[in-house]
């Protein structure tokens, strides 16, 4: 084991995994449309967080900090050459291990949002973050984030055509 893997950092990392592992991996899965890439993204997120832990100055909550790292990891993975050359527009339904549920329609509609809208919806409604926090993460103004959420909701309603209550 790496010597720098201090006991204190290890405890912190374990605590974060306990709290955030599942919602983070689910968010990455929707983002990347691939269960296994999501697992990679999750590992990379915690790895980067661990490495950067000595420089974490508590200027935002640890959850926001982890989200910021996860967003960047997913963005980077999406932007690499392989992801851009692979058609991931339809494979959500055929995700390995993905079990159909009665609520699939909204989930699938979210998967089909544009990256920016998906990002805004996931952070706002799924990670329960506020506009200011999201703005800091995605490097945009709160009003921009608000507009993205509004546009995303309109798109979801259009896709669901009344299914959404």
Partner 1 sequence: MNDQQWRAHVHESIDQSLAHIQKNPFLAQQIQKKMAEKKKDGRKIAALPLLAAAMMLLLLAGAWAMDLPLWGLKNWLAGEDRPPLPIATSQPHTLGETSHPLGEMRVREMTTDGYGIYFSLEFIPKNEKTLLLSSPSFPGDSVRSIGISPDFEGQTIAQWADAHGYPDLYSLLLYDADVYTSGQSTYSPLYAGLSYPELEKIEENGIHLFMMSLPWEENRKSITLSYLIRKIEEQPADVNEKMTTMLTSVEADGNHKEYFLSIPLEPAENMGKTIIAQYAPLSHGLPENHELQLESLTLFQTPVSGYWDMAYTLSPSRAHDGNREGSPWLYLSGIFGYNTNMHIWQQEEKEDGSIRYHLICSCVLPDSLPEILKGEISLRDPTEDPDDDAFPSSHPVEWQRIRP
3-state SS assignment for residue 14? helix
Q: How far is the CB of 38 from partner 1 (least distance, A)?
A: 8
| 102 touching partner 1, by CB under 8 A | yes
Closest CA to 122 of 56, 31, 44: 31
Cβ-Cβ contacts under 8 Å for 114 (sequence gap 6 or more): 155
Size of residue set near partner 1 by CB under 8 A: 74
Rounded to whole angstroms, the Cα distance separating 159 from 59 reads 38
- The yes or no reply on residue 112 touching partner 1 (CB under 8 A) is no
At residue 164, φ and ψ (nearest 5 deg) are -75, 130
> Is 115 a residue that touches partner 1 (CB under 8 A)?
yes
Q: How far is the CB of 158 from partner 1 (least distance, A)?
A: 13
Compose the 25-54 pattern: x for residues touching partner 1 by CB under 8 A, - for all others: xx--xx----x--xx--xxx-xxx-xxx--
- One of 7, 87, 89, 101 touching partner 1 (CB under 8 A): 101
Backbone angles phi, psi at 18, to 5 degrees: -60, -45
């Amino acid at each position: 084991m790496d010597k720098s893997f201090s006991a204190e950092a290890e405890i912190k990392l374990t605590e974060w995994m306990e709290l955030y592992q599942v919602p983070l991996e689910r968010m990455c899965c929707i983002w990347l449309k691939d269960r296994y890439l999501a697992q990679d993204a999750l590992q990379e997120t915690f790895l980067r967080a661990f490495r950067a832990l000595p420089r974490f100055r508590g200027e935002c909550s640890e959850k926001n900090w982890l989200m910021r790292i996860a967003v960047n990891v997913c963005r980077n993975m999406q932007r690499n050459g392989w992801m851009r050359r692979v058609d991931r527009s339809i494979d959500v339904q055929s995700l390995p291990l993905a079990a159909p549920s009665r609520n699939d329609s909204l989930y699938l509609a979210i998967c089909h949002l544009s990256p920016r809208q998906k990002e805004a919806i996931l952070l706002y409604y799924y990670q329960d973050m506020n506009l200011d926090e999201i703005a800091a993460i995605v490097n945009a103004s709160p009003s921009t984030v608000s507009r993205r959420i509004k546009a995303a909701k309109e798109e979801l309603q259009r896709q669901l055509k009344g299914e959404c209550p």
